[in-house]
Amino acid sequence: MATPRYEPVAETGVGAYGTVYKAHDRHSGFSVALKSVRVPSGGGAGGGLPISTVRGVAYCGDWRLLSIPMLSG
């Protein structure tokens, strides 16, 4: 989960869509929340992403208004 910019500090919770970590932003020095989204193997109907995963990621997209960083990878 470590990235060049964010260093995980602690796991803060596990839910239906993935795991949330408290992390340190090396550029700003602030503490941030990182969410690792779980993608089930096999995908959903038709081989794509399950709708629950899409819904979880879409929900995270609203967080940009709160200055919560989005990562891919």
Structural domain that includes position 23: 6-66
26-70 pLDDT, tens digit each: 999 988 888 887 776 765 566 677 777 777 677 766 655 555 565
Kindly state whether residue 73 falls inside one of the protein's structural domains.
no
Answer whether residue 9 shows pLDDT above 80: yes
pTM of the predicted model over 0.75: no
Kindly state whether residue 21 falls inside one of the protein's structural domains.
yes
Q: Is 36 exposed, middle or buried (0-12, 13-18, 19+ CB in 10 A)?
A: middle
Instruction: Write down the pLDDT at residue 68.
Output: 57
Count: domains in the chain: 1
Q: What number is the average pLDDT over the span 2-30?
A: 87
Kindly state whether residue 72 falls inside one of the protein's structural domains.
no
Instruction: Write down the pLDDT at residue 29.
Output: 92
Kindly state whether residue 18 falls inside one of the protein's structural domains.
yes
Instruction: Write down the pLDDT at residue 18.
Output: 80
Instruction: Write down the pLDDT at residue 2.
Output: 63
Kindly state whether residue 71 falls inside one of the protein's structural domains.
no
